[in-house]
Amino acid sequence: KDAAREILERVEDRSDNRLGVEAMGLLEAYGIPMPDGEIVDAPEDARAVAERIDGDVVMKIVSPDILHKSDIGGVAVGVADDEVADTYETLITRARNYQPDANLLGVQVQEMADLDSGTETIVGMNRDPQFGPLMMFGLGGIFVEVLEDTTFRVAPVSETEAREMTEEIKTAPLLRGARGRDPADLDGIVETIQRLSQLVADFPAIMEFDINPLVATPDGVAAVDIRLTVD
Ligand code: ADP
Ligand code: MG
C-alpha cells in the first residue's frame, strides 16, 4: 500500500491528473500480474531491455497527453531486437507530430502477451455519483465497443460477485473455452477484479481505472495496459 501511495503522490505535483502505463507499479503493489517491461528514454536503453526480454517485444509511447496510444500509431507489436532502436525513434516522431508540446515520458518496452491463446478482457472502475465505485468487467479489444458486453458491481466486490461478473457477460462461453479453445484462467480474472477493487477502496482519489486489455490465457492473466484518473 505504501508503494502505491508513493506512486499516486507523485501525480499530485503534476498539472495533469491522468496516468497510463507509467503507473504500472500500482498493479505490482496489489499483486496484479503484468508482462515484463520497462519505460526507457533512449533508443539504446530500449534495445537493452528488449535483449533482456526473450523474443519480440511491444513498444508503446508513454505520455499523459496521449490517452489512446494506438490511435496515433503509438503501439508497435512484435518488434524484433534489431528493429527496436528505429522503432523507438518512429514512436517519438509520431508523438511529436501528433502533439508537438506533448509531455513524453519515454517508450515502454514490454514482453508480448500471448494473444493466440489469450482473450482480451477489461477490468475497470468508475465512481458513480449515486452508487459510488462501480467495478466493470467485459470483453476487451475491439469487442468492447462493438458488443457492449459489460457487467457492473458496486465495490468492494466479494469473490462470489467477481465470479458472477465473469459468468454473466454474453461472451462468457468464449472465456470458458467455446469452439475448441482452451478455457481462460477465470480464477486469475476473479482475483484481478478483487485486487483492483481493493486498490480503489484504499485510494478514494482514484476516480477511474481501466485495465484494458487484461489478457487472459489458459495459464494466467496479464495486465497489458492501464489508464487512470486521479482527483
Ligand atoms: P492503447 O489502448 O493506448 O491503444 P494498448 O497498450 O492497450 O494501447 O495497446 C493496444 C493494443 O495492442 C492492445 O489492445 C493489444 O491488442 C495490443 N498489445 C498491446 N500490448 C501488447 C502486449 N504486450 N502483447 C500483445 N499485444 C499487445
Ligand atoms: Mg489499451
Summarize pLDDT for 53-91 with one digit per residue, the tens: 989 999 999 999 998 999 999 999 999 999 999 999 999
For 162, the domain range is 119-230
Q: What residues have CB less than 8 Å from 137, skipping those under 6 apart?
A: 121, 122, 123, 124, 150, 151, 162, 165, 166, 169, 189, 193
Ligand 1 atom with the smallest distance to the CA of 67 is 3
Are residues 58 and 157 both part of a single domain?
no
pLDDT tens digits for range 111-157: 999 999 999 999 999 999 999 999 999 998 766 677 788 999 999 99
Average pLDDT (10-22) is 81
Of the bound ligands, which one is closest to the alpha carbon of residue 61? 1
149 CA to centre of ligand 1 in angstroms: 19
Are residues 129 and 95 both part of a single domain?
no
Find residue 40's DSSP bridge partners: 107
Domain boundary among 76, 93, 111: 111
Are residues 104 and 131 both part of a single domain?
no
- The answer, yes or no, to whether ipTM is higher than 0.95 is yes
Are residues 17 and 105 both part of a single domain?
yes
- The answer to whether residues 125 and 155 touch, using CB atoms and an 8 Å cutoff, is yes
Percent of the chain topping pLDDT 70: 97
Are residues 139 and 195 both part of a single domain?
yes
Are residues 100 and 54 both part of a single domain?
yes
Are residues 29 and 92 both part of a single domain?
yes
Are residues 177 and 199 both part of a single domain?
yes
Are residues 222 and 148 both part of a single domain?
yes
102 CA to centre of ligand 2 in angstroms: 19
Are residues 134 and 107 both part of a single domain?
no
Are residues 127 and 195 both part of a single domain?
yes
Tally of domains within the chain:
2
Q: For 80, which DSSP code?
A: -
- The answer to whether residues 197 and 204 touch, using CB atoms and an 8 Å cutoff, is no
Q: Please report, for the domain that includes residue 6, its CATH number.
A: 3.30.1490.20
Are residues 51 and 84 both part of a single domain?
yes
Which of 56, 75, 79 maximizes ligand 1 atoms within 8 Å of its Cβ, making it the mutation to test the pocket? Answer: 75
